[in-house]
Every structure is written in C-alpha cells, then in structure tokens.
C-alpha cells in the first residue's frame, strides 16, 4: 500500500500537467509518467504480465508513436490560449469537477464485500492462467482482435500513402541538373568540404581552413552555424601566423631550397 500512496499523487500531478502544459511534447512525457505509474499499480495488484505489457506496448510502442507523429506534425505547434467558443474552458472545468466529484463520491460509497485475492487464480502462475482463459473462453475475441490489428496496419498504410504527382528524378537527371547549376549559377560541382581539414581537430564543429587561415563556411553544418556552436577559425589559425613569422614567409627567404614554399620542415627556432 505504501507504493500506492507514494505513486498516486505523482500520477495525478502528471495527469493535471497534461491538462495545463503548453507544449505537446511535455504532455507526451507526462503521459509516459502516468503510464509507468499505472504499470507499477498493476504489478502491485498481482498482474505481472500486464505490468510488462503496459510498459512494452503502451509506453514503449503507443507513446513512441505519439512522439513520432508530434515530430512529423511540428513540435512548436503549441496551443493558443484564445478561445473560439466563449466560456468553453470554464464550463468544461466546472463540468469536469462536478463529474469527478460524483464519480469519487459514488465509488467511495460502494462496498463489494471482501477482496478475494488472486492467489488461487494465479496458482500456476499469472501467464499460464491468462493463457488458459485467453485461448479457451475468449478465443473468438482473440481472433477478432488479430483481424483488427491487421486492418489497422493496412489502414495506416492507406492513409499515409502519398501519390507521386511529379515524375521521379533519376541519377542521370540529377547529374545533368548539377552541371546546369554550375554553368548558370557557378555553384560548386563537387561535394562539400569536410570539417576540420588543415585545422587542429577533425570534429564536426571545427571548420576547415582556407589557405589564408579563414574558415570555410560550407564545411560545417548549417544547424551548428545557426546555433552558434562552431569553433572559431581565427583561433585555430594562430599557429599558421606564428609559423609564417618564424620562417620569414613574407618573401625574405634566403638559402631555402623549399619545394612547397611554406618551409614546414624547418625547426621553429631556426634563424630565417
């Protein structure tokens, strides 16, 4: 019983949170709290199979389906507070409170006699006893729900199907389009530069360095640039400036047979 009294206020608070939260993703996570709380309640009441099924099916599958659709529909679609029907929210709250009061008072006044525990029914174990019932008394309902599940899967496929309105672009057409973009707009033909080239690190937030030490903007993802989490390129190019100064790179090179011209095989302490 301690488990019940610890968990019940948490579940009611989470359910009330679903009512009042602005963002739909918060509502989904609060519903997950309620569902896991309910799973524990089932475990407290000698229903271990349903405890597992609640977590695996309800929280793990159904709630994840909700979250997927929320991602598809748009996470920032939050409820507006403006009412379209005047006084609807107030009336709904009043009716809800009254209904809740009626239910709770009515239920609390009912007595059902002594509680026959499930020890006898679970004598061989909860799962064998459930299987016994499911495949003998309720086998028709079982087969009907399997047909229902097949129908639901097909229905989801039909509803989510999109007809192709434009012809599909093949690889040859895409390559030709790239050439046309290069000719008309000067867009670079090849792939984007990878991050961290000629920089100290090859992490995705380190931009590639151009020959003069500035950052190549196309080498980091646009999301990172928009968030402002890209590492600063001038800081990474500091040792380029130091080395240039050490090898006398501004044209005063003497006695240097350098093939590459940046003299990186010289020691840092050498005189120019």
**Of 116 and 260, CB closest to another protein:** 116
| From candidates 124, 138, 201, 245, binder to another protein by CB under 8 A | 138
Sign for the CA dihedral angle at 78, 82, 88, 89 comes to positive
Based on the shown chain and the rule CB under 8 A, indicate whether residue 198 belongs to the binding site for another protein: no
Based on the shown chain and the rule CB under 8 A, indicate whether residue 1 belongs to the binding site for another protein: yes
Least Cβ distance, residue 4 to another protein (angstroms)? 6
Which of 272, 232, 220 shows the shortest CA–CA distance to 248?
272
Least Cβ distance, residue 166 to another protein (angstroms)? 16
**Of the ranges 87-95, 173-181, 224-232, 238-246, which one interacts with another protein (CB under 8 A)?**
87-95
Decide: residue 206, CB within 10 A, 0-12 exposed, 13-18 middle, 19+ buried. Answer: buried
Per the CB < 8 A criterion, the answer to whether 39 and 7 are in contact is no
**Packing angle of the helix pair 139-160, 126-136 (nearest 10 deg):** 90
Considering only residues 108-127, where is the footprint of another protein by CB under 8 A? 108, 112, 115-118, 120-122, 126
Considering only residues 65-84, where is the footprint of another protein by CB under 8 A? 65-66, 69-70, 72-74, 77-80, 84
**Of 23 and 266, CB closest to another protein:** 23
CB neighbour list of residue 165: distance below 8 Å, 6 or more residues apart: none
Sign for the CA dihedral angle at 92, 98, 104, 106 comes to negative
Q: Strand, helix or coil at 60?
A: helix
**Of the ranges 55-63, 222-230, 234-242, 251-259, which one interacts with another protein (CB under 8 A)?**
55-63
**Of 18 and 243, CB closest to another protein:** 18
Over the window 155 to 194, marking each residue x when it contacts another protein by CB under 8 A and - when it does not, the resulting string is: xx--xx-x--------------------------------
Beta-carbon count within 10 A of 75 CB: 12
Tokens of 32: 């997950």
């Amino acid at each position: 019983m301690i488990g019940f009294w610890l968990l019940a206020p948490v579940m009611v608070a989470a359910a009330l949170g679903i009512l009042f939260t602005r963002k739909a993703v918060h509502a989904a996570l609060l519903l997950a709290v309620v569902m896991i709380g309910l799973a524990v309640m089932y475990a407290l009441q000698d229903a271990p199979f349903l405890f597992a099924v609640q977590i695996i099916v309800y929280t793990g599958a159904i709630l994840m389906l909700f979250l997927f659709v929320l991602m598809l529909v748009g996470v920032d679609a939050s409820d507006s507070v403006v009412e379209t029907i005047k006084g609807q929210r107030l009336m709904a709250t009043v009716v809800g409170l009254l209904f809740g009061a009626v239910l709770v008072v009515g239920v609390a006044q009912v007595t059902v006699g002594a509680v026959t525990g499930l020890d006898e029914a679970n004598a061989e174990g909860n799962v064998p006893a459930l299987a016994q019932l499911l495949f003998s008394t309720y086998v028709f309902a079982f087969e009907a729900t399997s047909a229902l599940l097949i129908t639901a899967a097909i229905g989801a496929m039909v509803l989510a199907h999109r007809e192709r309105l434009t012809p599909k672009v093949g690889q040859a057409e895409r390559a030709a389009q790239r050439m046309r973009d290069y000719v008309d707009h000067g867009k670079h033909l090849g792939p984007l530069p990878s991050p961290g080239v000629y920089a100290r690190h090859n992490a995705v937030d380190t931009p590639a360095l151009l020959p003069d030490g500035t950052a190549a903007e196309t080498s980091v993802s646009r999301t990172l640039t928009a968030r402002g989490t890209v590492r600063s390129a001038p800081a990474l190019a500091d040792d380029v400036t130091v080395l240039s100064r050490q090898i006398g790179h501004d044209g005063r090179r003497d006695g240097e047979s350098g093939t590459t011209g940046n003299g990186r095989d010289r020691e840092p302490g050498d005189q120019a």
